[in-house]
């Protein structure tokens, strides 16, 4: 059982196609939805308008805006301000204590990437380890850059809600005169209205960081949502969600027609 979404050039277009396809399914949910973004860093003027439309919808429903969702995966402004690897220490030692929800789950995937707990109580920076191995000319591997965000000691419980939804990241390198980075992300559960667009943007920024620091180019992003739902926030009706998707499609269609 799977639902393939035709590959799209940008994050906004991929979000719209995936959300529309899942919205058309029974109960507005699907399993093993495969999303592919060929150029996750590209953003047209119409894409920016779509992001703004989704942002307004989420703010009106008192949900996290798109950029805030993206920041849970990669804090782009912090990286621009402090550079690597210093911004990681800034995030974990100065910013995260102010943002942390609980010891079990801070709500930030970037914490799991850069301060994963180990048995000797010394957090492991898994993300920077991947960057260092990619930039190491002695390392000939193209397929050994895996990053687990699921932690069985913290994430296994009987609650149907909350906790981590992004479970695993698999980076790959395509050979060439200059290598190209691909990323496959696995989600155990995925809310397509509240989270997906911000997730795609955040994953694209994560790829840009790894590629820049590793000395490679950015390639396609693939996301597998093992369970996906086009959610309707409590204060919204299903017709509001359909209206959101219709408005975003009209915005992208108008750009193509121009």
Report pLDDT digits (tens) over 132-146: 999 999 999 999 999
- Number of domains making up the chain: 1
CATH number at residue 18: 3.30.572
Q: Which domain holds residue 238?
A: 3-257
Q: Does residue 73 have a pLDDT over 90?
A: yes
pLDDT band at 160 (very low <50, low <70, confident <90, very high): low
Instruction: Please write down the long-range contacts of 206-210, taking CB distance under 8 Å and 24 or more positions apart.
Output: 206/73, 206/74, 206/169, 207/40, 207/41, 207/181, 207/183, 208/41, 209/74, 209/79, 209/84, 210/127, 210/130, 210/131, 210/134, 210/171, 210/181, 210/183
State both tokens at 74. Answer: 């990669």
List pLDDT tens digits, range 44-60.
Answer: 999 999 999 999 999 99
What pLDDT is recorded for position 161? 64
Cα separation, 211 vs 167, whole angstroms = 21
Q: Which of 208, 234, 188, 216 is nearest to 33 (CA)?
A: 188
User: Strand, coil or helix: what is 221?
Assistant: strand
């Amino acid at each position: 059982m799977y639902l393939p979404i035709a590959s799209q050039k940008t994050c906004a277009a991929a979000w719209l196609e995936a959300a529309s396809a899942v919205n058309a399914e029974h109960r507005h949910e699907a399993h093993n939805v495969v999303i592919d973004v060929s150029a996750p860093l590209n953003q047209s003027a119409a894409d920016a308008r779509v992001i703004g439309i989704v942002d307004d919808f989420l703010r009106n429903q008192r949900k996290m805006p798109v950029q805030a969702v993206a920041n849970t995966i990669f804090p782009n402004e912090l990286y621009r301000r402090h550079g690597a690897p210093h911004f990681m220490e800034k995030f974990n030692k100065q910013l995260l204590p102010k943002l942390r929800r609980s010891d079990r789950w801070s709500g930030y995937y970037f914490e799991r990437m850069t301060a994963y707990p180990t048995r000797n109580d010394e957090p492991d920076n898994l993300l920077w380890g991947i960057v260092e191995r990619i930039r190491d000319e002695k390392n000939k591997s193209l397929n050994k850059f895996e990053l687990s965000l699921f932690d069985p000691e913290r994430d296994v419980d009987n609650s149907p809600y909350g906790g981590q939804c992004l479970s695993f990241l698999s980076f790959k390198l395509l050979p060439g005169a200059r290598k190209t980075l691909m990323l496959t992300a696995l989600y155990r559960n995925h809310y397509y209205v509240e989270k997906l667009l911000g997730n795609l943007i955040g994953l694209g920024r994560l790829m840009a960081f790894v590629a820049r620091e590793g000395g490679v180019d950015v390639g396609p992003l693939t996301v597998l949502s093992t369970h996906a739902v086009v959610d309707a926030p409590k204060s919204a009706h299903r017709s509001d969600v359909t209206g959101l998707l219709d408005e975003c499609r009209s915005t992208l269609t108008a750009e193509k027609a121009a």
